[in-house]
Amino acid sequence: MNKIKLADLKHLDKQDPLSKYREEFFLPKNTIYFDGNSLGPVPTKTIKNLNKTINEEWGKDLINSWNKANWINLPQTLGDKIAPLLGAKSGEVVVVDSTSLNLFKVLTSALRLNKNRKKVVSESTNFPSDLYILEGVNGMLNNHYECQLIDDDINFEKYIDSSTAVVMLSHINYKTGRISDMKKITDYAHQQGALVVWDLSHSVGVIPMDLHNIGVDFAVGCTYKHLNGGPGAPGFLYVHSDLIEIVSQPLSGWLGHSDPFAFETKYTPANNINKFICGTPSILSYKAVESALDIFDEISLEQVREKSIQLSELFIKLIQQECGDFGFELFSPIDAAHRGSQISYKHENAYPIMQSLISRGIIGDYREPNILRFGISPLYMRHEDVWSAIICLKNIMQSNEWDSSNFKIRNYVT
């Protein structure tokens, strides 16, 4: 293998068609950010948009902005902006609540549609919050369902049968970055009469998807990772247009009513995606998401995916080249086609190593029990950044800097 050189990587950055989008983000000096798969950085437009919202829409126009600035329709208008990133149609996506609340809504909705079946299939390595929601929903329904959490990601189909009501999975595994075959699993689940719910939190914004044409029934996701909507930004949910009119959801809030401002005593759900809205949208958060989504208006997700693969392949090769003797074990799939926009490595001293990197401005994160996780964010990350991060890691390992007691103190958020 030819040795990778920094000069060659700088040349690639100059040719990068996505390089101009780096200017769309506020990136602190002397920081290389590998945690966009957990919290995206601040888009520069967001600062201006929030100032306008606070000073003009809220400050001057006050309550009139529900109409004048169209605040009331932000859940639907932002949903329609996310829809192309998912391969969804207009009216199939709404931005509302949190990912966990949305999962509660769509999972319960799916179970109501398939109420004569007794099994829900998911993965033992699914994101814990998703599994907690599944556990809570099943408990609410008197543990009516057998919740089968499987470990076999290769022969998944053998666990889906005529007793399966719902298959609930993450498109990208949060620890390994492994991509599940959405089309294959969805097709097989439908052949068996099961419905599918996908969590897209780690894939939206970095991987092209085709939810509507594949026939995905339900999906949820967040806007604060690769969509850069801000900490605690609202989630989104998707419902296939074939199901929207017939499905019902359990949280019958007033803005899900067919005519909220009629203030009727009896609840009549809207006959469109609005039925999944509950309470009043948090406008400041929605406005942050709005400006972040504007960045994607002219971006090709195919180009984003191509650069993501380039950067992650470079990361793996540089680890082998510069840090091959330090005990790092690749935890993500070696095949880029099966790997999302992150790289994970196992190491027995993963936590202090990551803390040492963070102290030097190389920001990734740690996941139990021994995983260093590096998000790949193609819109603002350069090939040069990957080089700098790996050389920094090499210096940390050579000097045993990570072995300082300061780096072994556990923070609450890892």
3-state helix, strand, coil in the chain (%, to 5): 45, 15, 40
- How far apart CA 343 and CA 315 sit, in angstroms, is 8
For residue 323, the surrounding DSSP H or E stretch is: helix 301-323
Residues 197, 331 contacting (CB under 8 angstroms): no
pTM confidence score: 0.96
Q: Write out the two tokens for 381.
A: 């990350």
- What's the pLDDT at 221? 98
Residue 163 CB-density burial (10 A; 0-12 exposed, 13-18 middle, 19+ buried): middle
- What's the pLDDT at 414? 87
- How far apart CA 32 and CA 151 sit, in angstroms, is 34
Average pLDDT over residues 184-204: 97
- Give me the sheet containing 93-95, strands edge to edge: 93-95, 235-239, 218-222, 195-199, 164-170, 119-123, 146-150
Q: Residues near 201 by Cβ (< 8 Å), separated by ≥ 6?
A: 99, 127, 170, 174, 220, 221, 222, 225
Q: If pLDDT is split at 50, 70 and 90, which confidence band does 288 have?
A: very high
Residues serving a catalytic function are: 127, 199, 224-225, 373
In the 8-state DSSP scheme, what is residue 126? S
- How far apart CA 294 and CA 289 sit, in angstroms, is 9
- What's the pLDDT at 156? 84
Residues 211-237: tens digit of each pLDDT: 999 999 999 999 999 999 999 999 999
Chain centre to alpha carbon of residue 364 = 16
pLDDT at 1 over 70: no
pLDDT at 154 over 90: no
Short-list 121, 205, 198, CA closest to 165: 121
pLDDT at 120 over 70: yes
Which domains does the chain carry? Answer: 6-30+300-408 (3.90.1150.10), 49-297 (3.40.640.10)
- What's the pLDDT at 126? 95
Average pLDDT over residues 68-94: 98
- What's the pLDDT at 155? 80
Query: For the chain, first and last CA: distance in Å?
Result: 35
- What's the pLDDT at 157? 85
Average pLDDT over residues 356-375: 97
- What's the pLDDT at 245? 95
Average pLDDT over residues 190-204: 98
Q: If pLDDT is split at 50, 70 and 90, which confidence band does 324 have?
A: very high
- What's the pLDDT at 152? 74
- What's the pLDDT at 372? 98
Long-range contacts of residues 366-373, Cβ cutoff 8 Å, at least 24 apart: 366/414, 367/174, 367/175, 367/414, 368/414, 370/346, 371/175, 371/331, 371/344, 371/345, 371/346, 372/328, 372/344, 372/345, 372/346, 372/347, 373/37, 373/175, 373/342, 373/343, 373/344
Residues 237-258: tens digit of each pLDDT: 999 999 999 999 999 999 999 9
